[in-house]
Amino acid sequence: MDNTPPKLFSPEAVARNRARAAKMDERFQFLQAEIADRMFERLQEINRSFEQKIDLGGRFSAFVPTKDGQAFDAPNFDGAVIAKIVDGADLIVSNLDLHWVNDLPGVLVQIKQALRPDGLMMVSMFGGETLHELRHSLLAAESEITGGVSQRIIPFADVKDLGSLLQRAGLALPVTDVDTLTLTYEHPVQLMQELRGMGEVNALIGRSKNFLRRDVLFRAAEIYQRDFSREDGRILATFEVMYLTGWHPHESQQKPLKPGSGKVSLADALKAGKPPAKD
């Protein structure tokens, strides 16, 4: 039985999109820079120094180059076996990148194996609510005009699923949390241009090979402005950013208590919290 996960994304298309984005105005990458900065702040809260640090995608090290005295290695990760490019890292980070890999569970396992004992993984990636306004508008417009639909916004993972994947990968002390950012734009086309500049355009293997028809695009813009705009006319765009952290297991780490090992029963704890009974 073949347990290979189905391939959703074309690595070649992902690479082309990123190469094109790299040649565009860097102002389109402000969201990636902002999330890299938030990740760096989280790292600063960890009372720990890291020697061998790996930037596994999303140009984290490019966005925070002067904030850390020690440089990151940035291997050319394109979905290849991580163990071949990373050996015994203390810290592996990935910034808004891993939602494009075909085998996320496998990649998380590889990251865990590439870390030294007590090494840290920190990842940010887009979650399920990302661009739901654009998804709705494109689907509604295409269905209305052509009678069919094409998947033009990729599926994003759910935070609950990611928490389970961290545990399955064997990472210790797994944590997942979410930032929901709502950005505004003058027009839906401006949003689409920014997504192109971020390298975040459709790379699904099953995507339509035809360009989006102009009449569908115009109708999608109308639906977007009708359903998801503020009073001043600016449209809203949701980006759900999920942060995943986990450690390679080590004996020095905190361990959860075994079931039944508590010294105070729940009943006694509840009694202790009650006000004294009145006579």
Q: Mind listing the pLDDT tens digit for each residue in 68-105?
A: 556 788 776 665 556 566 778 999 999 999 999 999 99
Instruction: Give phi and psi for 121, each to the nearest 5.
Output: -110, 135
Q: Please say if the pLDDT value at position 1 is more than 70.
A: no
Asked if residues 221 and 170 have their Cβ atoms less than 8 Å apart, the reply is no
DSSP state letter for 277: P
Query: Please, where are the H alpha helices in the chain?
Result: 11-22, 30-44, 60-63, 104-114, 132-146, 159-168, 188-198, 214-227, 266-272
Residue 274's Cβ-count burial label (10 Å; 0-12, 13-18, 19+) is: exposed
pLDDT at 38: 95
Secondary structure of residue 90 in the 3-state scheme: strand
pLDDT at 231: 94
pLDDT at 271: 58
Q: Please say if the pLDDT value at position 106 is more than 60.
A: yes
Virtual CA dihedral for 72, 75, 79, 85, nearest 10 degrees? -100
According to CATH, the topology of domain 11-252 is Rossmann fold (3.40.50)
Q: Please say if the pLDDT value at position 179 is more than 90.
A: yes
pLDDT in tens, 255-264: 655 655 555 5
Asked if residues 56 and 112 have their Cβ atoms less than 8 Å apart, the reply is no
Q: Please say if the pLDDT value at position 37 is more than 80.
A: yes
d(CA 248, CA 54): 15
What is the pTM assigned to this prediction? 0.84
Q: Give me the residues paired with residue 127 across strands.
A: 157
Secondary structure of residue 203 in the 3-state scheme: coil
The more confident residue out of 185 and 56 is 185
Angle between helices 159-168 and 104-114 in degrees, nearest 10: 50
Q: Which of 68-72, 89-93, 117-121, 187-191 has the lowest mean pLDDT?
A: 68-72
pLDDT in tens, 124-169: 999 999 999 999 999 999 999 999 888 889 999 988 899 899 999 9
The more confident residue out of 114 and 87 is 114
- Taking only Cα atoms into account, the Rg of the chain, rounded to an integer number of angstroms, comes to 22
d(CA 54, CA 73): 5
Confidence grade of residue 279 (pLDDT, cut at 50, 70, 90)? very low
Structure tokens at 191: 């949003």
pLDDT at 48: 85
**Mean pLDDT across 199-222:** 91
DSSP state letter for 231: T
pLDDT at 236: 98
Secondary structure of residue 250 in the 3-state scheme: coil
**Mean pLDDT across 54-73:** 78
> What's the first-to-final CA gap in the chain, in angstroms?
71
Q: How far is CA 15 from the centre of its chain?
A: 18
Q: Please say if the pLDDT value at position 118 is more than 70.
A: yes
**Mean predicted lDDT score pLDDT of the chain:** 87
